[in-house]
Amino acid sequence: MILIVDSGSTKSDWIAVDYNGNKLLEKVRTEGLNPAILSESKLAKRIQKSDVLVENSPNVTHLYFYGAGCGTDNAKKLLIGVLKDLFPNAHVEVNEDTLAAVYSTINHPKEAAVVCILGTGSNCSYFDGEKLHQRVISLGYTLMDDASGNYYGKQLIRDYYYNHMPENIKVAFGSRYNMEADFIKNNLYKKPSPNAYLANFAEFMFLNKDSEYTINLIKKGIRLFVENMIMQYKEVLETTPVHFAGSIAYYAQEEIKQVAEEMGFIAGNFQRRPIDGLIPFHVENLKKQK
């Protein structure tokens, strides 16, 4: 059994296939498994909550994990240790989520592209057709993550409290979420995964895209992301497409394309769930190894 995992800070999708790519189990979803912000014990507990994964763990021969927070050696080693303990018979590989985004968005294996992730967090890399190049190492949601779910959640809360929202939007926002200061601060400073908590608010934008305020908010975040991340690779942007993966990118396609035209880059493919493109990639690679 081959397990392929696409994990963000909010949720993780697990797909089990055989060596021909046939699905063996219904897709399993667990909480997010970000080793940069979760301890070894918390990572293990989140996986062990799934009875399906626990029952099938002895049958797993290969486990390919792509996730947020896996861009540093220490975080990667931490998660590899957890996974090897829980799946003792498996060959385990852990890679950052950007690589999953590359494999799921490029048009052919050797295509050069700038590949972006806009989900709970955000990231951007350049794939030259063989290797991944990342000029900015993400420092996470408190300092970076422009145009991500947690970025937009933070902006929405700030605008609510600073009275920068139009009154009708503020009323709708306040009726949808608990905006009591103590509740918000408890989730941000005392509970785990504050980045995922912030990202939950981003859905509001896409439910209220008929508002000029919302459109401007979305575009503001995208422009920041372009300036700080995509323009790191400005020397290739005239001829290289910029592909996007993640739920924020998927639902903000129209705004991203408008900003692309405005700021001079080529908006390429959009993939909401990178895991969908990972099955054929790994099955083919395993066949080549035999």
In a domain, 204, yes or no: no
Better pLDDT: 227 or 272: 227
**What global pTM score does this model have?**
0.79
In a domain, 10, yes or no: yes
Output the pLDDT for position 286.
Answer: 84
In a domain, 266, yes or no: no
In a domain, 27, yes or no: yes
In a domain, 182, yes or no: no
pLDDT tens, position by position, 258-279: 999 999 999 999 999 888 778 8
Check if the beta carbon of residue 118 is closer than 8 Å to that of residue 148: yes
In a domain, 118, yes or no: no
C-alpha to C-alpha distance for 15 and 38, rounded to whole angstroms: 22
CATH of the domain at 19: 3.30.420.40
- Residue 69 clears pLDDT 80, i.e. is over it: yes
Q: Residue written as tokens 């048009």?
A: 107
Structural domain that includes position 53: 2-100+275-289
- Residues 6 or more apart whose CB falls under 8 angstroms from that of 71 comprise 96, 98, 123, 134, 137, 138
At 29, is the secondary structure helix, strand, or coil? strand
Judged by phi (left if over 0) then psi (alpha if -120 to 50, else beta), residue 122 lies in beta
C-alpha to C-alpha distance for 205 and 248, rounded to whole angstroms: 10
- The number of folded domains in the chain is 1
Check if the beta carbon of residue 288 is closer than 8 Å to that of residue 281: no
Q: Residue written as tokens 């785990």?
A: 192
In a domain, 178, yes or no: no
In a domain, 81, yes or no: yes
Token reading at 71: 């861009």
C-alpha to C-alpha distance for 94 and 34, rounded to whole angstroms: 12
pLDDT tens, position by position, 161-214: 999 999 999 999 999 999 999 999 999 999 988 998 999 999 999 999 999 999
